[in-house]
Copies of this chain bind each other. A is one copy, B any other.
Amino acid sequence: MSWRKEQRRAERGYHHGNLKEALLQAALGLIAEKGAAGFTFADAARMAGVSAAAPYRHFRDRDELLSSIAQRGFEQFEARLTAAWDDGRPDTVTAFERVGRAYLAFAREEPAFYNAMFESGLPVDANPALQAASERAFNIMRAAAERLAALAPPGTPRPPAMMMALHIWSMAHGVASLFSRGDAARRKLPMSPDELLEAEVLIYLRGLGFPTDRRPPAKSAEPPPVPPEASSGSGVPPGGPWGKPK
């Protein structure tokens, strides 16, 4: 029992040297395994090889550790959304859908972060830095929606960009939360969460009057840098977005 801790200590000396970072990593792993609710402060300490009291030198309490993780999550989230948006290249609609897929990919690939960010029950306004990070991430979607709204087909009222951003966010979060998580709420779906979200967004955009009649994953020759947007009318495209997406 005890030799274990002694050995650990022998390996690294009395001072850990990088405990804060080690705790964050340990907590991340634990959350990924057992969810934000099941993660314990003591476990993180044990995993880092220090006593249960050591974490208190770096975090006021368990919630502050969680909040730190959520903040990091929002930062990575923002980075991924920014990359996916790629400033609207090659065309706004394509980039917009890529943002949606990036949202889902993040939820799937970083379940620990996503859990801490959206499902841990910690109040967003607990930490000002957390709130700021969250807002920065949302602003990516907001900016994308802004660009998209500016392209509204002539003759139709221009949809508020803020509303569009909130709609897309709610779709992505809904799909991620209900269908795209590890073990919970896994129902038998007729299609993958990605396909589900993609179809949902496409139908939504069509409802706003945007032309969305693109070929499947559009991996073929991309249209020239000058986007061919605001072109076709608002007629219903021949094929639906759901018709055997793969």
Q: Indicate if the CB atoms of A169 and B162 lie closer than 8 Å.
A: no
Give the residues in chain B near A169, CB-CB below 8 Å. 174, 178
- Chain A interface, >50% SS class: helix
Q: Indicate if the CB atoms of A196 and B178 lie closer than 8 Å.
A: no
Q: Indicate if the CB atoms of A163 and B242 lie closer than 8 Å.
A: yes
Residue A17 is within 8 A (CB to CB) of chain B in the complex: no
**Bound CA span A61–B102, Å:** 39
- Number of this chain's copies in the assembly equals 2
**Bound CA span A163–B36, Å:** 30
> Known: A174-B169, A204-B200, A207-B204. Contact between A123 and B184, CB under 8 A?
yes
Partner of A236, one of B156, B189, B202: B156
Residue A216 is within 8 A (CB to CB) of chain B in the complex: no
Q: Indicate if the CB atoms of B209 and A196 lie closer than 8 Å.
A: no
Give the residues in chain B near A191, CB-CB below 8 Å. 163
Give the residues in chain B near A118, CB-CB below 8 Å. 177-178, 185
Residue A243 is within 8 A (CB to CB) of chain B in the complex: yes
Give the residues in chain B near A243, CB-CB below 8 Å. 157
Give the residues in chain B near A235, CB-CB below 8 Å. 234
- Quote the shortest CB–CB distance from A64 to chain B (angstroms): 16
> Binary interface profile of A, 75-92, with partner B (CB < 8 Å = 1, else 0)?
000000000000000000
Return 14 A-B CB contacts under 8 Å, by A number: A118-B185, A121-B184, A124-B185, A124-B187, A138-B187, A160-B242, A163-B190, A166-B179, A167-B200, A169-B178, A173-B178, A203-B207, A205-B207, A207-B207
Q: What 9 A-B pairs come out closest when comparing CB atoms?
A: A174-B174, A207-B207, A170-B174, A203-B207, A206-B207, A173-B174, A170-B175, A157-B240, A167-B200
Residues of A at the B interface (CB closer than 8 Å) are: 35-38, 118-119, 121-124, 138, 153, 155-157, 159-160, 162-163, 166-167, 169-175, 177-179, 183-187, 189-191, 196-197, 199-200, 202-209, 234-236, 239-240, 242-243
